[in-house]
Amino acid sequence: MALGTFDGLHLGHQQVIRRALEWAARESRPGLALTFRNHPLSVIAPARAPRCIETAAARREVLERLGVDFLIELTFTAALAALPAGDFLRLLTDTAAPAGLVVGENFSFGAGRGGTSAFLREAAPRYGLRTEICPLTMLDGEIVSSTRIRSLIAAGDLRAVNDLLGRPFAVTGEVQHGDARGHRLGFPTANLPLAPDWAMLPQGAYAVRARFEGHDRFGIANIGNNPTFDGKESRLEIHLFDYAGDLYGVRLKVLFIERLREERHFGSMDELRRQLCDDETRARKIFHLQ
């Protein structure tokens, strides 16, 4: 069993999960992952609860792709937070009976974060558990961490974010009706709401890949509030190249590949249209499209 919060499922988390799966394969056992539906800080210190890097559904998708056989998702509660580390291990053995646990070096569990890696090494044999502690994953001389990724997302360093995640940063949502300005500009858009508790890139234009109903499409996206039209509400608008279908109500996954520019105010619709044409030309070059 790989055990962790797995906030963002970055390269470090993936290493923990792969080690558990390799161990399981050697012993012809199923490979499990145990994580939490909500971030522990949302209960322990709500004011310090971090923004989500991805949805629970997106995390399940990555875990399935990694090859996890079974996923256990616990709701983190005040009662769970108050459970001593030893009692948490007993809970694991009584309910899931793992042959072994794999955790990251900096993961802790139990009341007061008493279940450190050192505690686990010493206590696990008493519960019939074998353990493996994975060292921290480093990239470019720095520790790969969810905190670092959130900081890079806020700074708009998309290339670094995608490197640390090991995949493109993505947003998923159901397409909603917009104000149809994109149609009048010749750039029809699919509009996704942006939840305030999501970690989000800075306002601006991006080259994106959109996935829906088993299809992938390339396009450009804008995060912002439409300053040219005195917009107030921040949202994500996606224009898909060479696509004329109706996407209202469709669940769309938008993968951010490269930042094109920051958001700006344009003096006229013609000026905005010319900029969108430039954005599309740049994005098509990025994706090697005609």
Give pLDDT tens digits for 209-229: 999 988 899 999 999 876 554
Residues 6+ apart with CB under 8 A from 28: none
Q: Where residue 15 sits, what CATH number does that domain have?
A: 3.40.50.620
182 part of a folded domain: yes
**What pLDDT is stored for residue 149 in this prediction?**
98
Assess whether 134 and 6 both reside in one domain: yes
Q: Above 90 in pLDDT, residue 285?
A: yes
Rounded Cα distance, 178 and 237, in Å = 9
119 part of a folded domain: yes
Assess whether 44 and 130 both reside in one domain: yes
Q: Which of 47-61, 96-110, 170-184 is predicted with the least confidence, judged by mean pLDDT?
A: 170-184
Assess whether 42 and 108 both reside in one domain: yes
Number of domains in the chain: 2
Assess whether 263 and 182 both reside in one domain: yes
**What pLDDT is stored for residue 177 in this prediction?**
81
Rounded Cα distance, 11 and 273, in Å = 39
**What pLDDT is stored for residue 231 in this prediction?**
53
CA max distance for the chain:
72
**What pLDDT is stored for residue 67 in this prediction?**
97
Q: Above 90 in pLDDT, residue 144?
A: yes
**What pLDDT is stored for residue 183 in this prediction?**
57
Give the burial class of 223: count Cβ atoms within 10 A of its Cβ; 0-12 exposed, 13-18 middle, 19 or more buried.
buried
Assess whether 120 and 202 both reside in one domain: no
Assess whether 6 and 136 both reside in one domain: yes
Q: Above 80 in pLDDT, residue 112?
A: yes
Assess whether 124 and 220 both reside in one domain: no
How much is the average pLDDT of 184-208?
89
Assess whether 95 and 223 both reside in one domain: no
Q: Is-contact 178 237, C-beta < 8 A?
A: yes
pLDDT tens across 37-76, in order? 999 999 999 999 999 999 888 999 999 999 999 999 999 9
**What pLDDT is stored for residue 195 in this prediction?**
85
Of 107, 126, 143, the position where a domain reaches its end is: 143
110 part of a folded domain: yes
How much is the average pLDDT of 191-220?
93
Q: Above 70 in pLDDT, residue 205?
A: yes
Please report which confidence band the pLDDT of residue 234 belongs to, taking 50, 70 and 90 as the band edges.
confident
Q: Above 80 in pLDDT, residue 106?
A: yes
Assess whether 9 and 139 both reside in one domain: yes
34 part of a folded domain: yes
pLDDT tens across 259-277, in order? 999 988 888 888 889 999 9
Please report which confidence band the pLDDT of residue 196 belongs to, taking 50, 70 and 90 as the band edges.
confident
Name the percent of the chain lying above pLDDT 70: 94
Query: Based on C-alpha coordinates, what's the Rg of the chain?
Result: 22
Q: Which two tokens stand for residue 268?
A: 């006229």
| Residue 17 belongs to domain spanning | 2-143
Name the percent of the chain lying above pLDDT 90: 80
Q: Above 70 in pLDDT, residue 180?
A: no
249 part of a folded domain: yes
Assess whether 9 and 121 both reside in one domain: yes
